[in-house]
Amino acid sequence: MEEFHKVRRLPPYVFEQVNRLKASARAAGADIIDLGMGNPDLPTPKAIVDKLCEVVQDPRTHRYSSSKGIPGLRRAQAGYYARRFGVKLNPDTQVVATLGSKEGFANMAQAITAPGDVILCPNPTYPIHAFGFLMAGGVIRSMSVEPDDSFFGPLERAVKHSIPKPLALIINYPSNPTAHVASLDFYKDVIEFARKHELIVLSDLAYSEIYFDGEPPPSVLQVPGAMDVAVEFTSMSKTFSMPGWRMGFAVGNERLISALTRVKSYLDYGAFTPIQVAATHALNGDGSDIAEVRAVYKRRRDVMVDTFGKAGFEVPPPAATMFAWAKIPEKFRHLGSLEFSKLLVEKADVAVAPGVGFGEMGDDYVRLALVENEHRIRQAARNIKKFLSTADDTMHNVISLNTRR
C-alpha cells in the first residue's frame, strides 16, 4: 500500500539510526556518553518548579487554558523583549505563546503556506525549519548558513529564479547546528532585502541567551522596519532549562502573529495554566537563573574544546548555543557523518549527531551537544583519543589505504 502523502514527506529521522545503535550498546552494558540530542540535562530552576507546584493546587487552573497564552505571560514576554533588545511589542497583537518554539514554527508554516510556495531555508539547519514547510505543502530552496556578505548573492539568485517568487526566508542565529552568530548589521541587510522583495522573515532565536563570547546575540526585530516583515521565535527550553515544559513564543508582525494565533485556536487550548504562570514567573525574574545556565554550558564548552583538541579531534569553540559543530577528522570524512557517528558509538562509546541529519551540506560534520557534565566530556575525549590512535590498526575495512598516515 502506498504511504500517505504527508508521511512520504517525512523520511525516517537520521538521528534514529544512531539512537537505535546507542540503545542496543547500552542494553549490552556499554556506558555511552551521549552528546547526540540537544536535550538540556540541567534541572529547571527551583523557583520556577515551586511556582508550578503552588499554582497547580488551585482547581481553577485545571480548566482549558488560553490558546494564545494568558495575558500575564504575553506581557512578560513583551517585557523580556523590551529589557533585552529594546524592542517594544504589543502583548495583545504581537505576541503569541506556543507549545515550544517547534510547535509555533510548524504551525506558522501551516498558517502561511499555499501548496508549492517556495521557502528559503538554511542548510544545514534544525530539521523543523524545512520539514515544517514540507508538511505544509511548501517547497524548500536551500540557502547558506554563513551570516556574512556571501549570503546575499545566492539569496538574490533565489529570488530572481524561483517560480513562484519565494514566500519566506528562514534565519536561525545563533544557529543550530553550526553555532554561527549574526550581527545586527547582517540583520539590517536581511530586512532591507526582505522589504524590497516582499519576503517574510522567520527568525528562530531559540539560543538568544546561550552565548559565551562577545555581545549577546541580537534580535532581528531590533532593525527599524523589521516589524513589517518579520516574526521571531524564542524558547524557554534552553534559556531556563525547561525543555519538557513546552513553552515558547512567536512575536513580531501582527498579520503573521494573527494567522498563527488563528490556526492555533483551532488546534489547542494553550499550555496547562500552571505552566504558563510558572513561565511568567521565570520571564519576570532577575536573570540570575539564565546566567547560571550560561556559565555551565561555557565551562563544558571550554573543557570539550580543550580535551577533544588534545585527543586529536579539533572542535572549534562555539561562541553560542549548546553545540559544537566539528569537522569529521580527515581520514574518516569519506565515510560520511552517519557512518562516522555509528563508529563513534561502537568503538568509542560516544554518541554524536551526524551532520547529514541537518541537511546534505552538513555531511562533513558532526554536532556535539554540551549535555553531559565536564567529567563525562573528559571521559568522551579519552575514549575518542583511544579510538583515533588505534583506528589505523583496527579499522582496515573502514579507513582507505591512501588516507592512512
Ligand X SMILES: Cc1ncc(COP(=O)(O)O)c(C=O)c1O
Under the rule (CB under 6 A), what is the footprint of ligand X? Answer: 38, 100-102, 126, 172, 176, 204, 206, 235, 237, 243, 248
Q: How many CB atoms lie within 10 A of CB 164?
A: 10
Phi, psi of 217 (to 5 degrees): -60, 135
Q: Which is nearer to ligand X, 126 or 151 (CB)?
A: 126
Q: Which residue is nearest to ligand X (CB)?
A: 100
Q: Which is nearer to ligand X, 100 or 218 (CB)?
A: 100
Q: Which is nearer to ligand X, 181 or 343 (CB)?
A: 181
CB of 275 to ligand X, least distance (A): 13
CB of 394 to ligand X, least distance (A): 35
Phi, psi of 374 (to 5 degrees): -60, -40
Q: Which is nearer to ligand X, 261 or 321 (CB)?
A: 321
CB of 374 to ligand X, least distance (A): 22
CB of 267 to ligand X, least distance (A): 15
DSSP 183-229: -HHHHHHHHHHHHHHT-EEEEE-TTTT-B-SSSPPPPGGGSTTGGGT
Q: Which is nearer to ligand X, 104 or 274 (CB)?
A: 104
Q: Which is nearer to ligand X, 371 or 399 (CB)?
A: 371
> Alpha-carbon distance 377 to 301, whole Å?
9
CB of 172 to ligand X, least distance (A): 5
Encoded amino acid at 290, one letter = I
Would strands 353-354 and 33-34 be described as parallel, antiparallel, or unpaired? unpaired
Q: Which helix (H) or strand (E) holds 366?
A: strand 365-369
Q: Which is nearer to ligand X, 147 or 243 (CB)?
A: 243
CB of 395 to ligand X, least distance (A): 32
Are 73 and 250 in contact by the 8 Å Cβ rule? The answer is no
CB of 248 to ligand X, least distance (A): 4
Would strands 230-235 and 200-204 be described as parallel, antiparallel, or unpaired? parallel
Q: With 0-12 CB in 10 A as exposed, 13-18 as middle and 19+ as buried, what is 139?
A: middle
Among all chains, which residue has been given the C-alpha cell 500500500? 1
